[in-house]
Amino acid sequence: MKKIFVVSSINMDLTINAPRMPKEGETVEGDSFFISPGGKGGNQAVACAKAGCETYLITALGNTFKDELLNSLKDNNVHTDYIDTVDNLSSGIAIITLKDNNNRIIVDKGSNNSITKELIDKALSIAKTGDILICGYEINIDATDYALHAAKEKGMITILNPSPVFDRIDLFELVDYLILNEVETEYYTGINPANKKKEVKSLKLLSELCKGNVIITLGGNGSSTLISNEYVHIESYSNRLEVVDTIAAGDTYLGYFASKIVDGSNLVDALKYASCASALAVSKRGAQKSIPTKKEVDEFIKKENI
C-alpha cells in the first residue's frame, strides 16, 4: 500500500456560534461553544486515514492539549511516529466564530512553527516513489519548502493547500496538485472567481505558476479545474444534505482527493469523491469529528446515484 505523508499543522479548535460578527470594540453574545481537535494537517491526515490510507502526520505539539490531540489522531488510525513535542510552547490554537454555518478563523501556530528538517528527513526516509506528500502554510514556511523539495527528489506526488495565504508562490512549481479556495485564489491571482469566466482566468494564471493541476474549491458551488486546458466543473452535493457547519470541509475534500490519487484514480473521479466526502462533512459539527468514513462516503454515493 502506498503511503500519504502530511507535513502540516494540528490545532485545538475553540468554536462558538454568533448571531453576527462583532464590530471593533464590540462584544456579541454567542452560544454553543465547543472544543474539537482540528488544524489543517490534523484534519487532512484524519480524512486520508478515514478514507483507508496509510497516513503519517509530521508536525509538532506543545504543552497544551497534547494528549487530547494525539489521542484523536490515534483513534482515527493516523500514524503519530513523527510528531515532536515542544515543551516551552502552546500547541496550535484556532479561534473559530460561526455565523449562518460559515466560519471565520484566527490561528496561533504555536508549536506548529517548530517542525524541523530533521523530523521531515526521518519521516520521509520510509517514503517511496508514488507516495503522496501533503503540505500547507499553517506551519513554519521553511518546513513546507524543505518538505516539497525533499518529496520531489524522492519522486513523490505533491499536494499543496497554500493556506493561510503567504507570499511564497515560488513553491507552486514544486506541486503536482494545487488546491485552494475562492479567498486564496483571489489573493494569489487578484481575481475573485465569482463566475465561470473568472474561474477559467484564475485557473490559467495559477497553472502557469504551478505546472501541475490546479483545483479551486467553491464551497456550495462545487469545484473546478482544467483538464487539457478545458474547464471542468464538479458540483458540491451539499444541497442533498442539511448544512450544519463548514469547518474542515476543505480539509476533508483534500484528504479524500488524495486517497483517490494515491490509488491511481483519474482526476475527475478523485474530484467527485472528494466533493461527496466534503458534503457529508458539512452535515456534522466540528473538525475531525465531522469527517466521514469511507463506508459513509461510499454509501452516500450509492444512495444518491452519483
Return the CATH number at 274.
3.40.1190.20
User: What does DSSP say about strands 132-136 and 157-161: parallel, antiparallel, or unpaired?
Assistant: parallel
Residue 99 lies in a domain: no
Whole-angstrom distance, CA of residue 108 vs CA of residue 92: 6
Give me the domain span that covers residue 183.
Answer: 3-9+43-88+112-304
Structural domain total, the chain: 1
Residue 132 lies in a domain: yes
pTM: 0.93
Residue 84 lies in a domain: yes
Whole-angstrom distance, CA of residue 272 vs CA of residue 282: 16
Residue 203 lies in a domain: yes
For the chain, the residue count is 306
Residue 122 lies in a domain: yes
pLDDT by position in tens, the chain (length 306)? 899 999 999 999 998 999 998 888 999 999 989 898 999 999 999 999 999 999 999 999 999 999 999 999 999 999 999 999 998 999 999 898 988 867 788 889 999 999 999 999 999 999 999 999 999 999 999 999 999 999 999 999 999 999 999 999 999 999 999 999 999 999 999 999 999 999 999 999 999 999 899 999 999 999 999 999 999 999 999 989 888 878 889 999 999 999 999 999 999 999 999 999 999 999 988 788 889 999 999 999 999 999
Whole-angstrom distance, CA of residue 169 vs CA of residue 174: 10
Residue 102 lies in a domain: no
Q: Quick one: angle between helices 40-50 and 249-262, nearest 10?
A: 50
The Cβ of residue 230 has, within 10 Å, a number of other Cβ atoms equal to 8
Residue 17 lies in a domain: no
Residue 98 lies in a domain: no
Question: Which residue type does 298 have?
Answer: D
